[in-house]
Amino acid sequence: MSAVLPTLRVALPVPLPQLFDYLPPAGGPARPDDVGRRVRVPFGPRELVGTVAGIGTGEAADTLRAALDWLDPQPLLHGELLESLRWLSHYTHAPLGETLATALPVALRRGEPLPDTQAWGWRLTEAGHTALPGLRQGRPRQLAELLAAAADADGLDEDRLDDRLEDWRGAARSLARRGLAERVAIAAPAAAAPPAAGPHLNDEQQAAAAALRQSSGFAAFLLDGVTGSGKTEVYLQAIADCLARGRQALVLVPEIGLTPQTLARFRTRLGVPVHVLHSGLSDGERARAWAAAWRGQARLVVGTRSAVFTPLPEAGLIVVDEEHDGSYKQQDGIRYNARDFALVRGKALDVPVILGSATPSLESLHNARGGRYAHLRLSRRAGEARPPRVRVLDVRKRPLRDGLSAEVLAGVGDALAAGGQVLVFKNRRGYAPVLLCHDCGWTAECRRCSTPLHSTAMTVHGGGRRLQCHHCGARQPVPLACPDCGSLALQPQGIGTERLEERLVEAFPDFPVLRIDSASTARRDALEQQLARFGDAPGILVGTQILAKGHDLPKLTRVVVVGIDEGLFSADFRASEKLAQQLIQVAGRAGRADLAGEVWLQTHHPENALLHTLVNGGYHAFADAELVQRQAAGFPPFAHLALFRAEAKQVEMANQFLAAVRGLLPETGTEVECFGPMPAPMPRRAGFQRTQLLLSSPTRRALHALLDAVVPAIHALPQARRVRWSLDVDPLDLY
Nearest to 122 by CA among 90, 168, 86: 168
pLDDT at position 404, please? 87
**Domain residue spans in the chain?**
7-104, 120-185, 203-378, 389-429+496-631, 438-485, 640-729
CATH 3.40.50.300 is right for the domain spanning 7-104? no
Residue 610 half-sphere exposure toward CB, CA atoms < 13 A: 23
Higher-pLDDT residue of 486 and 523 is 486
Mean pLDDT for the stretch of residues 147-170: 75
Mean pLDDT for the stretch of residues 284-293: 92
pLDDT (tens digit per residue) in 590-602: 766 566 788 888 8
pLDDT tops 50 at residue 138: yes
Strand 421-425 to strand 539-543: parallel, antiparallel, or no bridges (unpaired)? Answer: parallel
pLDDT at position 592, please? 60
Q: Where are the alpha helices (DSSP H) in 639-730?
A: 651-664, 700-715
**Regarding the domain delimited by 640-729, which CATH topology (the fold level of the hierarchy) does it fall under?**
Alpha-Beta Plaits (3.30.70)
| Integer CA distances (angstroms), 562 to 392, 427, 603, in order | 11, 8, 8
* Residue 171 CB partners (closer than 8 Å, separation 6+): 138, 139, 140, 142, 143, 165
pLDDT tops 60 at residue 522: no
Residue 224 half-sphere exposure toward CB, CA atoms < 13 A: 22
Place 190 in a pLDDT band, splitting at 50, 70 and 90: very low
From CA 304, how far away is CA 311, in angstroms rounded?
A: 15
Place 36 in a pLDDT band, splitting at 50, 70 and 90: very high
Give the least confident one: 171-180, 421-430, 501-510: 421-430
Architecture of the domain defined by 203-378? 3-Layer(aba) Sandwich (3.40)
> Residue 115: how many CB atoms within 10 A of its CB?
19
pLDDT tops 70 at residue 523: no
- Calculate ∠ Cα 90-94-96, nearest 5°: 75
Helix/strand number for the chain, H first, E second: 21, 34
Q: What angle, rounded to 10 degrees, do the helices at 619-633 and 362-369 form?
A: 90
* Residue 423 CB partners (closer than 8 Å, separation 6+): 540, 541, 542, 543, 547, 553, 556, 558, 559, 560, 586, 589, 590
Give the least confident one: 55-59, 114-118, 373-377: 55-59
From CA 452, how far away is CA 454, in angstroms rounded?
A: 6
pLDDT at position 2, please? 52
% of the chain surpassing 90 pLDDT? 46
| Integer CA distances (angstroms), 216 to 84, 220, 469, 491, in order | 21, 11, 51, 63
Higher-pLDDT residue of 352 and 152 is 352
% of the chain surpassing 70 pLDDT? 91
Sheet holding 181-185, edge to edge: 156-157, 120-124, 181-185
Q: Answer yes or no: same fold for 203-378 and 389-429+496-631.
A: yes
User: What's the first-to-final CA gap in the chain, in angstroms?
Assistant: 57
DSSP labels, 330-348:
--SSS--BHHHHHHHHHHH
Assess contact for 587 and 389: CB atoms under 8 A.
no
| Mean per-residue pLDDT over the chain, rounded | 87
Containing H/E element for 579?
helix 575-587
Give the least confident one: 7-16, 137-146, 472-481, 542-551: 542-551
Omega of the bond prior to 538 within 30 degrees of 0, cis? no
Assess contact for 698 and 671: CB atoms under 8 A.
yes
pLDDT tops 50 at residue 221: yes
pLDDT at position 1, please? 45
Place 450 in a pLDDT band, splitting at 50, 70 and 90: confident
Place 257 in a pLDDT band, splitting at 50, 70 and 90: low
From CA 278, how far away is CA 538, in angstroms rounded?
A: 32
Give the least confident one: 88-92, 160-164, 166-170: 160-164
CATH 3.40.190.10 is right for the domain spanning 389-429+496-631? no
Assess contact for 89 and 707: CB atoms under 8 A.
no
From CA 597, how far away is CA 227, in angstroms rounded?
A: 12
pLDDT tops 90 at residue 317: yes
